[in-house]
Structure 1
Amino acid sequence: MKVLEGIRVLDLSIAMSGPFAAMKLADLGADVIKVEPPAGEWQRHASAGGARGKEVNASFLSLNRNKRSLSIDLKSEAGLAALHRLVGTADVFLQNYRPGVAARLGVDYETLRALRPDLVYVSISGYGESGPYATRPGQDLLLQAMSGALFSAGAPGRPPAAAPYFLVDAFAAYSAFEGALAALFHRQRTGEGQLVRVNMLDAIISAQMQEITVHTVGGVPQSRAAGIHAHSYIRAPYGIYPTSDGYLALSFAEPAVLARVFEEPGLAPFDAERDGFRAREEISALVEKHLRRRPTGHWLEALGAAGVWCGPVYSYEDLLTDPQVAHNGSFVTYEHPTEGRVTTPGFPFALSAAPQTVERPAPVNGQHSREILRELGMTEEAVARLEKDGVVVSAPPRS
């Protein structure tokens, strides 16, 4: 039995944070119904990195496995009535509309809890649902910038460096996933539903638990290193260094050990704790000089034998062929009705008693509309009427 088998989730979210959170619930066995407008969620049509699929783009495929799709016009009375009927069968409702939109559509918490008092309602916003920034666009880069994190990344005199992936969206998704599970557990114990509020700003602030506390408690200012250094609060050498044929990640290396491996007496006098911050640029420069002389493979072997923490710097292509990644089963591959063979990242944790699997590929828009509405007791004639009126979109059957 799946962990969340018997739990129904209505996913009205778009973009990344909401769909990712809902997919994690689906991976645990919840019946996640992705409620989409007649044209489909915009992510179906917006390519990431130019990766346009035949009918469904890669970004949508990555965030919507194990879900069913109900394509319905919530701006129509009949469409909203059908959704309200569906809410009566749901355990979790998830949305990430801009503040005020849910109320205008008639799917806000107060309205829906009147229909299902024990509903767990998860609302994701950019900055919070009230306050001076409530109406600002909750976009990943803007929130990375506001979170304070970027002033620890990059070099002095250059713009702060942003993460090259949607870091804030991912943390917000995990926060929403945790919040939904906690509220379901609370409901199991008390019978009470509740509103779970998640905002992306708080999510990325909480992700910097150590770094911000070093500043607030320890009074240590942020700084960006002129030389190679990956974290302003970690002593040198710490970062990504060039080798003769690529790059090497070096972490928490003792200068005295590096002095022996490199045969570099200039490193020997440095004490890791005493000089790791004070002489950060000098230490990093000496390390860089030596690492440039040999290929990455040589240093992985030589430094590894000396007990130095180091590792390769992979591209995605390297990652896909790594033996540890293959051993862990870090990726899942399945067949999609329009896109063919699809490979995406898999599951971040493993359950021995209830293993996670891909039961359904990311759905075609409206693929399950008829199925879901029939489950509500609607007749074929009633569903056909909604389709004819443009309230519901049903995907044609596929062989």
Structure 2
Amino acid sequence: MNILDGYRVLDCSIAMAGPFAAQRLGDLGADVIKIEPISGEWQRHKPAGNAKGHRINVSFLSLNRNKRSLAIDLKSAQGKAVLLDLVRSADVFLQNYRPGVAARLGVDYDTLKAINPKLIYVSMSGYGESGPYATRPGQDLLLQAMSGAMLSVGRNGEPPSPAGQYLVDAVTAYTAFEGVLAALLHRERTGVAQRVDINMLDAIVAMQMQEISVHTVGGIPQTRLNEPHAHPYIRAPYGVFKTKDSFMALSSPPLGVLAQIIDAPELAHIDEETGVWNRRDEIFAITQARLHLKTTQEWLAAFQAVDVWCGPVYGYADVAADPQIEHNGTMVEYDHPTEGRVRTPGFPIKFDQTPSTVRRGAPLTGEHSREILKELGYDDQKIEGLFGSGSVGEERL
């Protein structure tokens, strides 16, 4: 049994944030039906890294497990009628259309609420449903840039440093997932459903709760230094350093201890209260000059022996092979009917009574259309009529 067994989610989202949120609901047992065009959702045709796969590319594969696919033409009267029939039995409707599109398609909150008053309606957007930026493209890099996060790392005078992953999309997905669970809990307690609005800008700003508050409440400016300090509000040394053979991370060791380990006596004379803040560039440069003399493993052994916070800088190959990752069961493996053996990050929350499971991999476009229509009570003649008219589509294994 899974926690969300018996709940039905209609996933009308595209790209990453919406599908990722819906996948997390599916991981907990919800019956997630992915509503996509006859030609397939956008992400089926735009894989990250051009990782195309066999019949399903890696991007779509990674964001759409534990879902069934229903391929319908929402612009046709028959296709929209199928969706509205599904709404009657759904618990959650999730969409990330551009503002105004849901109303044009006839799947806006008021329309669907009239059909199913118990429906939790989740609308995801880039900047909000209204306001001066409502029509701007909600793209990850643009939101990273606008959020302030990008300007917290890197050297003063050099271009700001974006994250090496779709950070805002992922944070927005997690936020939407939390919002759905909270709304379901409220409905269980009160019997009242509601609309849940999530936008990428608010999600990435809220993630920086501590850092932004240091500025807005503490009055301390966000300052980039001449050296690539890893955080604007942490004492030195704090960041990633080049060693003889690779890189390592070093997190705010006492200067006296650091001075002994790296043989830099000048560090021992810098004040631990004020110097670690106003001489951060100098401390970083001295530390970097010493750390390039030995290998990462040599330095890690020396630092860890005296409980200094440090660690290696991993690539994805290192992550996938790490013994703690293996011990935690961080990655899940399953057999996919078209893509073969799949190893990918799993659901990160562990429940001792209701663990998450992989019940199916990402579906082909409309792979479950016929199955879902039968569940709605449509007879064979009506089903064949929908396929014949092009209002519903399917791709078979």
TM-score, L = length of structure 2: 0.99
Q: Which residue is equivalent to 2:221?
A: 221
Whether the 8 Å CA contact 1:45–1:56 is kept in 2: the answer is no
Matches within 5 A, 1:329-344: 329-344=329-344
Mark the runs of 5 or more structure 1 residues left unpaired by the alignment. Answer: none
Shift of 1:292: 0.5
CA shift at 1:178, angstroms?
0.6
Aligned counterparts of 1:255 and 1:382: Cα–Cα separation in 2: 76
Q: Secondary structure at the match of 1:355?
A: coil
Q: Structure 2: state its 5+ residue gaps.
A: none
Shift of 1:148: 1.4
- Check the 8 A contact 2:79/2:391 in 1, yes or no: yes
Q: How does 1:1-399 map to 2 (within 5 A)?
A: 1-396=1-396, 398=397
**Structure 2 Cα separation of the partners of residues 274 and 159 of structure 1:** 28
Q: Distance in 2 between matches of 1:328 and 1:380?
A: 47
Structure 1 residue 356: deviation in Å? 0.8
* Separation of aligned partners in 2, 1:164 and 1:273: 33
By how many angstroms is 1:2 displaced? 0.8
- Residue 334 of structure 1 and its aligned partner are, at CA, apart by 1.3
Cα offsets for 1:351-390 (capped at 9, x unmatched): 1110111110011111110111100000111111111111
SS at match of 1:129: coil
Aligned-partner residue type, residue 384 of structure 1: E
Q: Are the equivalent residues in 1 in contact too, given 2:237–2:283 (CA < 8 A)?
A: yes
- State the distance in 1 between where 2:157 and 2:185 align: 50
- AA matched with 2:357: T
Partner amino acid, structure 2, of 1:81: A
Displacement, 1:300? 0.7
1:120 offset after TM fit, Å?
0.3
Q: Which amino acid aligns with 1:95?
A: Q
Residues 74-127 of structure 1 show CA distances to partners (whole Å, capped at 9, x for unaligned) of 100001011101000000000000000000001100000000001100000000
SS in 2 for 1:225: coil
- Assess if the C-alpha contact under 8 Å between 2:154 and 2:228 holds in 1: no
8 Å contact kept, 2:248–2:296: yes
Counterpart Cα distance in 2 of 1:31 and 1:62: 17
- In the alignment, the residues of structure 1 paired with residue 392 and residue 131 of structure 2 have an alpha-carbon distance, to the nearest angstrom, of 37
Q: Which runs of 4 or more aligned residues in structure 1 lie more than 3 Å from their structure 2 counterparts after TM superposition?
A: none
| 8 Å contact kept, 1:365–1:394 | yes
Q: CA RMSD in A?
A: 0.9
Paired-residue identity, %: 61
Does structure 2 retain, via aligned residues, the 8 Å contact 1:228–1:238?
no
Q: Helix, strand or coil for the counterpart of 1:32?
A: strand
Shift of 1:271: 3.0
Q: Distance in 2 between matches of 1:264 and 1:164?
A: 33
| 1:15-57 alpha-carbon deviations (Å, 9 max, x no partner) | 0010000001000000000001000101011121111112211
The Cα shift of 1:391 comes to 0.8
Q: Output the amino acid matched with 1:182.
A: A
Output the CA distance in 1 between the equivalents of 2:120 and 2:356: 23
Distance 2:273 2:181 in 1: 42
Residue type matched to 2:232 in 1? S
Provide the rounded CA distance (Å) in 1 between the counterparts of 2:65 and 2:273. Answer: 48
Determine if contact 1:127/1:199 at 8 Å carries over to the other structure: yes
| 1:242-280 deviation line (CA, Å, top 9, x unaligned) | 000000100121111111212321111123332111110
